[in-house]
């Protein structure tokens, strides 16, 4: 058996996704600064819809797609089915995001928004074809593969419903109110796509990065079935009856699934052999805390909704921002520097390693920028989320200022890694 070969020709496609995603993150933060006061209002607001879609698609999904082109061959132990499909998907994805986000920002649900949604749907279907054909060639039949495959399916459903909602603005044909479908669309995306995909990838990478001897998949199996059951029940029940007392039970099933995953993370951490954690890994644990806080808000959202109390809007806003700008953001900000340096390192040093002393992948990252990024992100969390909760606009502004610093540090560091110049030292000089 051979070692898994990292395909150097994947470098361009992966790095292109990382660069695009970083720029989208900066754009998200700038857009947030321009409508900071909207975070105290209703979430069904054109500017917030534009920001949410840019964060979910341009920032979160874009980087996951890029990373998955590199990681799928590793996790599934086979070559990526098609690099051309990956490029075509990107070519549809980019104008799709631009059209959709721009038309949400100015709220023009016309041809621009419709073509944007079609481009995105096409891009996502092409990505799904690539994932499923790659999985079909693979030798693995693991829980990670189940998570990734199912997440990809949920992404397709999310994009399909999103497209239908876009067309429904101009040609109303859906049998229910837009807001009712928005809940389903958002949860398919958050729980179905992001959560399952992140769990699937972390199932392989977390034990590897922590050098953990924990090998048991029982908790992950339980997570898989509980999360998918909760999501399907939520979609059917909420479509038929909107939020109701049963939603508590469904939320409990979903939260139980997330708790099982967090227990898996804890077990990996507990049985880790590598005691000293680098900054990206340590900061990643902050993301799990933010996920925990977000899911603990769910019962309150249901309670205030059933009570017809407008507080449900504020709690929903807090829940959504904690998930997107908290959990997913923290995870990406840190895991970028666990994946990107390896991709760049392989390109620069794979043929030289062993002949010369070379830097290690972690040496490609600027640690000072990383520290400022971590501190400013913590400052963002400590001000922005309380700002939303208490309705203090100055705290929201302070948080966004900190997030702007985070974004600038992140982009500088990403650029530094990508523009790295090969440097070696002879062994006899050591």
What residues make contact with another protein under the rule CB under 8 A?
1-6, 70-71, 74-75, 77, 140, 204, 208-209, 211, 213, 273-276, 342, 345-346, 349-355, 357, 360-362, 427
Q: Which is nearer to another protein, 213 or 296 (CB)?
A: 213
In contact, 211 and 274? CB cutoff 8 Å? yes
Name the 3-class secondary structure at 159: helix
Q: Which is nearer to another protein, 283 or 406 (CB)?
A: 283
Q: Which is nearer to another protein, 421 or 426 (CB)?
A: 426
Q: Which of 349, 338, 339 is nearest to 421 (CA)?
A: 349
Torsion angle, CA of 252/56/196/186, rounded to 10 degrees? 40
Q: Which is nearer to another protein, 96 or 138 (CB)?
A: 138
Give Cβ neighbours of residue 363 (< 8 Å, ≥ 6 apart): none
Q: Which of 151, 183, 1, 143 is nearest to 68 (CA)?
A: 151
Q: Which is nearer to another protein, 84 or 211 (CB)?
A: 211
Q: How many CB atoms lie within 10 A of CB 136?
A: 10
Q: Which is nearer to another protein, 56 or 67 (CB)?
A: 67
Q: Measured from the CB of residue 259, what is the shortest distance to another protein in angstroms?
A: 27
In contact, 344 and 420? CB cutoff 8 Å? yes
Name the 3-class secondary structure at 422: coil
Q: Measured from the CB of residue 367, what is the shortest distance to another protein in angstroms?
A: 15
Q: Which of 399, 394, 374, 244 is nearest to 321 (CA)?
A: 399
Q: Measured from the CB of residue 214, what is the shortest distance to another protein in angstroms?
A: 11
Q: Which is nearer to another protein, 37 or 350 (CB)?
A: 350
Q: Which is nearer to another protein, 116 or 361 (CB)?
A: 361
Measured distance CA(49)–CA(93) in Å, rounded: 18
Measured distance CA(347)–CA(9) in Å, rounded: 9
Q: Measured from the CB of residue 136, what is the shortest distance to another protein in angstroms?
A: 17
Q: State how far the alpha carbon of 150 is from the alpha carbons of 85, 225, 246, 333, 367, in Å.
A: 20, 11, 25, 25, 36
Q: Measured from the CB of residue 261, what is the shortest distance to another protein in angstroms?
A: 20
Cα 288 versus chain centre, distance: 13
In contact, 59 and 330? CB cutoff 8 Å? no
Q: Measured from the CB of residue 428, what is the shortest distance to another protein in angstroms?
A: 10
Q: 35: which 2 tokens?
A: 């409508």
Q: Measured from the CB of residue 275, what is the shortest distance to another protein in angstroms?
A: 4
Measured distance CA(345)–CA(417) in Å, rounded: 9
Q: Measured from the CB of residue 211, what is the shortest distance to another protein in angstroms?
A: 6
Q: Measured from the CB of residue 306, what is the shortest distance to another protein in angstroms?
A: 46
In contact, 170 and 207? CB cutoff 8 Å? no
Measured distance CA(183)–CA(60) in Å, rounded: 19
Q: Which is nearer to another protein, 42 or 355 (CB)?
A: 355
Q: Which is nearer to another protein, 76 or 322 (CB)?
A: 76
> What does the buried/exposed string (b/e) look like for 176-198 if buried means 16 or more CB atoms within 10 Å of the residue's CB?
eeeeebbbbbbbbbbbbbbbbbb
In contact, 91 and 140? CB cutoff 8 Å? no
Q: Which is nearer to another protein, 9 or 172 (CB)?
A: 9
Quote the strand ranges of 187-330, DSSP E: none
Q: Measured from the CB of residue 341, what is the shortest distance to another protein in angstroms?
A: 9
Q: Measured from the CB of residue 3, what is the shortest distance to another protein in angstroms?
A: 3
């Amino acid at each position: 058996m051979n070692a898994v070969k990292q395909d150097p020709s994947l470098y361009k496609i992966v790095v292109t996704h990382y660069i695009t995603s970083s720029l989208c993150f900066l754009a998200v933060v700038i857009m947030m600064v321009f409508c900071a006061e909207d975070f105290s209002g209703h979430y069904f607001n054109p500017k917030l819809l534009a920001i949410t879609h840019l964060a979910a698609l341009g920032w979160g999904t874009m980087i996951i797609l890029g990373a998955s082109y590199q990681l799928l061959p590793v996790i599934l132990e086979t070559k990526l089915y098609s690099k051309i499909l990956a490029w075509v998907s990107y070519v549809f994805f980019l104008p799709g995001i631009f059209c959709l986000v721009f038309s949400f920002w100015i709220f023009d649900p016309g041809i621009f928004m419709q073509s944007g949604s079609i481009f995105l749907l096409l891009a996502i279907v092409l990505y799904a074809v690539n994932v499923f054909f790659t999985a079909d060639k693979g030798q693995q039949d693991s829980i990670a593969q189940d998570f990734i495959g199912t997440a990809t399916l949920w992404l397709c459903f999310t994009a399909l419903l999103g497209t239908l909602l876009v067309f429904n603005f101009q040609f109303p044909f859906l049998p229910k109110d837009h807001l009712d479908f928005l809940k389903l669309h958002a949860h398919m995306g958050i729980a179905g796509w992001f959560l399952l995909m992140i769990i699937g990838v972390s199932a392989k990478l977390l034990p590897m990065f922590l050098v953990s001897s924990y090998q048991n998949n029982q908790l992950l199996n339980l997570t898989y079935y509980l999360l998918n059951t909760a999501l399907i029940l939520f979609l059917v029940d909420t479509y038929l009856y909107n939020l109701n007392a049963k939603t508590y039970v469904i939320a409990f099933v979903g939260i139980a699934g997330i708790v099982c995953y967090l227990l898996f993370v804890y077990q990996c951490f507990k049985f880790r052999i590598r005691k000293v954690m680098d900054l990206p890994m340590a900061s990643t644990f902050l993301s799990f805390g933010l996920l925990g806080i977000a899911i603990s808000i769910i019962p309150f959202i249901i309670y205030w909704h059933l009570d017809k109390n407008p507080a449900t809007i504020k709690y929903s806003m807090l829940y959504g921002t904690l998930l997107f700008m908290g959990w997913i953001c923290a995870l990406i900000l840190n895991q970028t520097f666990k994946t990107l340096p390896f991709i760049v390192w392989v390109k620069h040093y794979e043929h030289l390693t062993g002949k010369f002393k070379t830097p290690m992948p972690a040496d490609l990252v600027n640690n000072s920028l990383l520290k400022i990024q971590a501190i400013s992100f913590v400052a963002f969390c400590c001000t922005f989320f309380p700002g939303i909760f208490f309705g203090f606009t100055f705290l929201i502004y302070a948080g966004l200022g900190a997030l702007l610093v985070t974004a600038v540090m992140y982009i500088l560091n990403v650029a530094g890694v990508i523009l790295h110049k090969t440097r070696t030292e002879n062994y006899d000089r050591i």
